[in-house]
Amino acid sequence: MSAALSKVEAQNLFRYVLRLGDLSLVLGQRLGEWVGHSPALEEDLGLANIALDLIGQARLLLTYAGEIEGRGRGEDEIAFLREHGEYLNAILVEQPNGDFGHTIVRQVLIDAFQLELYQRMTASTDERLAAIAAKSVKEILYHLRYSSGWLVRLGDGTEESHVRVQTAMDSLWPYTVELFADDELDRAMADAGVAPRLAEVQAAWIARIDKLLEEATLKRPASRPHSWHGKRGQHSEHLGYILAEMQHLQRTYPGARW
């Protein structure tokens, strides 16, 4: 935080940083489910490494959120001891992994989103977010290199692989709308120069995705109005299962350390 924030500003920034941090945290947890189950050892390593980077982002962001909140909560407490409705991730990241192609499609959509968002956030008026963004962008580039490489191979691969990733694209696409639907919090952050305008991020994202879809011989599904509000804490049933697994240890053995 560069300057002293008013109570409302601090509360807004806290919630905004949670949106960013929870996106990374939940997706990192989801990808972790692949460990030991990937189609090949190389993909096990790839997905686990991306999961690690995402959890690294979440650590930096949730630590920062705790400092903004100023009630002494650290990264672990925020990550592991909140309730369902307090997680502010868009619900795309909590969607189940499905098959490998399904996971890759979800990953491409998010990697491209994070890339366009964080590239612009390197110019944030919030120095801490600018630093986290600059660090993360470099890693996200490697995530996108991995996921888009697979999207093209699967889309432009066999008839079977093509059908599978197109089906995954059709079923996941509706959830992308929430990423770019700006509400009063997103607008307040953009007004303050903390975050870029989501419309700008969306335009760059769609251009990047369209190019990839073309290369992968896939069709872009139609966008429909959405009624998801994960960013406000209203989640699909999937998040509950994720949290049950993620929080089990912390809740069973409060304060456990190793």
Partner 1 sequence: MRAAVLADAAAQRRLSLAWNALEFVEDPEIPALSIVDLGLIRYINPQPDGRLDVGLSPTYVGCPATEVIRHSVTQALRTAGVGDFIVTQVLSPAWTSDWISVEGRRKLAIYGIVPPEKAASSMRDILRDNRPVACPRCQSTNTECISEFGSTPCKALHRCRACLEPFEYFKCI
Q: Which of these segments, 70-78, 91-99, 138-146, 247-255, binds partner 1 (CB under 8 A)?
A: 138-146
State the DSSP code for 235. Answer: -
Residue among 125 and 234 whose Cβ is closer to partner 1: 125
Q: By CB under 8 A, is residue 153 in contact with partner 1?
A: no
- Nearest distance from C-beta of residue 38 to partner 1, angstroms: 11
Q: By CB under 8 A, is residue 42 in contact with partner 1?
A: yes
- Nearest distance from C-beta of residue 59 to partner 1, angstroms: 7
Among 146, 173, 180, 228, binds partner 1 (CB under 8 A): 146
Both tokens of 82, joined, read 């909140």
Both tokens of 137, joined, read 């962008």
Tell me the three state secondary structure of residue 234: strand
Spatial separation of the C-alpha atoms in residues 21 and 59, rounded to whole Å: 8
- Nearest distance from C-beta of residue 111 to partner 1, angstroms: 11
Burial of residue 69 (CB within 10 Å: 0-12, 13-18, 19+) is middle
Among 1, 131, 181, 192, binds partner 1 (CB under 8 A): 131
Spatial separation of the C-alpha atoms in residues 14 and 117, rounded to whole Å: 18
CA 76, 77, 78, 83 torsion-angle sign: positive
Which amino acid does the sequence have at 19? Answer: R
Give, as ranges, the residues between 10 and 29 that touch partner 1 (CB under 8 A).
Answer: 28
Which amino acid does the sequence have at 58? Answer: A
Among 1, 5, 10, 52, binds partner 1 (CB under 8 A): 52
Q: Which residues would be at the binding site for partner 1 (CB under 8 A)?
A: 28, 42-43, 45-46, 48-57, 59-60, 115, 119, 127, 130-132, 134-136, 138-139, 141-142, 144-146, 148-149
